[in-house]
Structures are given as C-alpha cells and as structure tokens.
Amino acid sequence: MVNIFTITSLSAFVFASTTSLLLVQTVTAKPVQTKKQVNQPILFNSRLQIYPANNSLPASRLITIEGVIKKSSKMQITEAKLTTYEEFAAKTGEYKSSISNNRMVWIVTGFVQGELRMAKGRSVCTDNAKLVELTDAETGDSFGRSIYCPPNNQMNFMP
C-alpha cells in the first residue's frame, strides 16, 4: 500500500507542478511582436498574389526611379512614371483583379536597338522594339512587359 501511495503522490505532484509552471508561463508571457508590412502582396491559393492599395505610403517606402531604371538596363529609357494601377489600366485597357486600383506602380517605357527575342525565342523584333514595363513600386515585382515592333520589323517563328 505504501508503494501505490508513493506512485500516486509522485504523479499528482508532477501533474500539479507542470500545470502550475504552464499557468505561470501563460500569465507572465509577453506577446511576440512582429513587424507586419501591411501593403505587401498576400499569397492566395498558394499561386496568386493579391496586391492591396498602397497609395498612402510615404515615398520613402517606395522604390526610387533609380532602382526601377536599374532593372530595365537593356533598353534606352524614354519615360519612367510613378502612378496608380488604375491610371495605367485606364490608358491600356489591361486590368488584373489581383492588383488594387490604388496600388502604386512604375511604368517604364523605352526602346531596344537591334534584335530583340521575345519569350522562348519564338518571335524576333529585328530593330527598334518599344518596351513598356510595369513594376510594383513597393516590392519591385514585375507586373508584365509589352513589346511593340515597328511595321516590317517583326518575324514570327511559330509553326
């Protein structure tokens, strides 16, 4: 009878001690503070990113014109403009539901002298291709590029 009492007492003591320790840790624990960047893209369905509005951010939180031009090093830049996605979509007719109309974007326009191969080498613009690149002003993510070839300068290799 002494052995059962000792094992039971030991189990009760361990249980009480563990419970008290957990309770003390829960009551005295400080919340973990994390820096949340509110306007960063949100991953949706593990593939699609949603870009919320960020037009109220200070300019110091956006990519500078030098930073966006550095990414477009292959072209001779004619214009780089910081604007909202809504303005871009109104001018081009292109609209992505994953990007808020009040998202700040850089529109970089320029020309590439000489031959320009497009995706997978299937098409070639033989000379003076005009490029329009759309870049997120906060993250630097590319939202796409349009390539326009002057008449008689585009060759198509598609079968």
Find residue 51's DSSP bridge partners: 99
Q: Kindly state whether residue 15 falls inside one of the protein's structural domains.
A: no
Q: Residue 36: which pLDDT band, with cuts at 50, 70 and 90?
A: very low
User: What local confidence, expressed as pLDDT, does residue 72 receive?
Assistant: 75
Q: Kindly state whether residue 11 falls inside one of the protein's structural domains.
A: no
Q: Kindly state whether residue 119 falls inside one of the protein's structural domains.
A: yes
Q: Residue 91: which pLDDT band, with cuts at 50, 70 and 90?
A: confident
Residue 26 has pLDDT above 60, yes or no: no
User: What local confidence, expressed as pLDDT, does residue 49 receive?
Assistant: 76
Q: Kindly state whether residue 137 falls inside one of the protein's structural domains.
A: yes
User: What local confidence, expressed as pLDDT, does residue 43 receive?
Assistant: 64
Q: Kindly state whether residue 57 falls inside one of the protein's structural domains.
A: yes
Q: With b meaning 16 or more CB within 10 Å and e meaning fewer, what string describes 99-130?
A: bbeebbbbbbbbbbeeebebeeeebbbeeebb
Q: Containing domain of residue 110, as a range?
A: 42-156
Q: Kindly state whether residue 114 falls inside one of the protein's structural domains.
A: yes
**Better-scored residue on pLDDT, 41 or 130:** 130
Residue 4 has pLDDT above 50, yes or no: yes
The share of the chain scoring above pLDDT 70, in percent, equals 62
pTM of full prediction above 0.85: no
Rounded to whole angstroms, the Cα distance separating 133 from 35 reads: 31
**Better-scored residue on pLDDT, 54 or 10:** 54
Q: Kindly state whether residue 4 falls inside one of the protein's structural domains.
A: no
The number of domains in the chain is 1
